[in-house]
Each structure stands twice: as structure tokens, then as C-alpha cells.
Amino acid sequence: MSSLNPARQNALLLIALLFVQLLLMAGNVRDAAGSTLLEKSALRISQPVVAVSRALGGGFSGVTGGVRDLTTARKENVHLRDEVVRLRGELDRYHEESIENQRLRQLLMMKEHIAPRSIGAAVVTAILSDQEHVVVVNRGTSHGVAPDQPVIAWGGAVGRVVFADSGHAKIRLLTDPNSGVAGLVQRSRQEGMILGRGKGLLEMVYVPSFADVALGDRIVTSGIDGVFPKGVGIGVVQASEAAGIARTILLEPEVDFSRLEEVLILVETEEPPQDPAEPESPPSGAGEEP
């Protein structure tokens, strides 16, 4: 090595570094858990730096948020009073409908919907560039977070967990170009796949041109992807036009990804599978009194 001139030494170093990183990338593409050890180590080493930034960011957001809140509080107060009156009326109506719904469900022997168990998490940092739409939160495997768990926020679906360390988790947002979620039009029940475009809007694909989709229709998760539970809001149709046999549909997400501060990670989304033919009484066997 010492007999080589510096340019050759650098070229050899370049080849070695690129080769190691190519191996890392190849391992990552082949198996999602391929290089998590190094990724976790890098995350842990740099954790203090990001913790300091987070503390600074929290202070900055607090000051600017306080000033903004003061100026908008009065206007919002008047608006919210009107909203409370209107919502009270709606709440009474929904309460009546909920009782009726419960009665009908019991009548149809449908399963009771079980609210999924969730973990609240605060956003540590985030990136919204063309190719990467990622949020890092302060909850990890030690809190029960695992890859492929769905994440929601006030308003609708946010994304899914793609990496979890003991104290942090990375969430790929719905707007990421490599993100996909199964959805359906709430009104017409037309199913499709919602993909990220790397920009603000989402795209719904695999929808036939004759499908009943109108501007302003709400799109919710269909639950068939096995990640998100059914009925979580995704977005509202902003543009819909037939192009050949398929229809191009653009959606505006229900969640403002640039203002995310807290999210909910759904750690249990489904009930354990139960055979409909199985009787309701507990099965006989181990643990049963003779």
C-alpha cells in the first residue's frame, strides 16, 4: 500500500468503501432486516446529537407556537363556540344512530368492533424531500413497536413503521414514492391501491375507467392489505379522469404531514381469527375443571 501513489490509494479506498456499502444495500433490498445492526449502531451513536436538536427544536416551536396561538385564539374561540352548538346537535343524532346500529349488529350476530391498542409517540425529526418521506418517533421496540405496524394521526392514516430500534422508530409516510396502502371509495365502495408520489398528493391506481368516483369523495383504508384496519381516512379525491381502461385519481391526504407532532402507532389491529362455525362457549381441554 505504501508503494502506491496517493491517487491509487484513494481509488482503492473508494472501491473498498463503495463495495461495503453496496453489500449493505444489497442485504437491505434482499431482506429488510439485513443490515439493521449497523443501522441501529449508527442510530445509537448519533442519538445524543439528535436529542440536543430535539430539545432546541421543542423550545423554538414552543416560542413561535405561543405567539401564533395568542393571535389566533380569539378568532378560534368564536368559531369553536358555534361549532360546539352545531356538534351537540349532531352528537345527539349520532348517539341515537349508534344505539340503533348496535341493536342491528347484535341482531345480525356481527362481531363487535374492538378498538385497536395503540401507542402515542412524538415526532423527533422528519424529512419530506422528493424521494424520502420519513418521520422518526420516540417510541421503539421497548414500547412494543415493531416493523409493519400502521400509524395514524388526528385525521387519518399516516404510514407504516419500517424500522424500530429500542427507543426510536422510523415511519414511511403515505406520500413516500415507495409507499402503498389498499383503499376504497367510501361512497361507492370501489377498491384501489393508494400510492405515494413524493409530493403532496397521493395517487389511487387499479381503478377501472367506469368506476363511480367523483370529486370530493372520501377514500378510506379497505383493510385488505393486512396492515391498516378498515375505515381509516386516507384522503379526498381532488382529480379524477379516465385514461384508457383505467382511471387516474389524485387524492389530497387527510393528514398534513408537514405539521405532524404526535402520532398513534396501532400495535394490535385485528382480532385473533375465529372460526364462524366455532361455538361461543370455551372449548373443552387443558385447564378445564373435570
Partner 1 sequence: MSFLRSLLAVAAALGIEALAGRISPGALGYLDLMLVVVAYFAIRRSQRSAMLVGCAGGLLHDAWFQAGVFGISGFKKTLVAWVVGGLASRLDLNHAPGRVTVGVVLSISDQFLEVGLYRLMDLATAPLDPVRIVSRAAVTGVLVAIVFAIMDRKGSRTSMRGIRGRA
The rounded distance, in Å, linking the Cα atoms of 184 and 192 is: 6
Q: How far is the CB of 234 from partner 1 (least distance, A)?
A: 18
The nearest distance, CB 8 to partner 1, in angstroms, is 12
Q: What is the nearest approach in angstroms of partner 1 to the Cβ of residue 190?
A: 23
Nearer to partner 1, 14 or 84 (CB): 14
**Is the distance from CB of 135 to CB of 144 less than 8 angstroms?**
no
Q: Which is nearer to partner 1, 211 or 255 (CB)?
A: 255
Min dist. Cβ of residue 61 to partner 1 (A)? 7
Nearer to partner 1, 187 or 197 (CB): 197
Of the pair 186, 200, the CB lying nearest partner 1 is at 200
Of 84 and 205, which has the nearer Cβ to partner 1?
205
Measured from the CB atom, the residue of 47 and 186 that comes closer to partner 1 is 47
Min dist CB 35 to partner 1, Å, is 5
Q: Rounded to the nearest whole angstrom, what is the least distance from the CB of residue 243 to partner 1 in the complex? A: 17
* Residues near partner 1, by CB under 8 A: 6-7, 9-10, 13-14, 17-18, 21-22, 24-25, 28-29, 35-36, 38-39, 42-43, 45-46, 49-50, 52-54, 56-58, 60-61, 123-136, 162-163, 170-172, 176-178, 195, 197-199, 257-258, 260
Which of 40, 239, 267 is CA-nearest to residue 161? Answer: 267
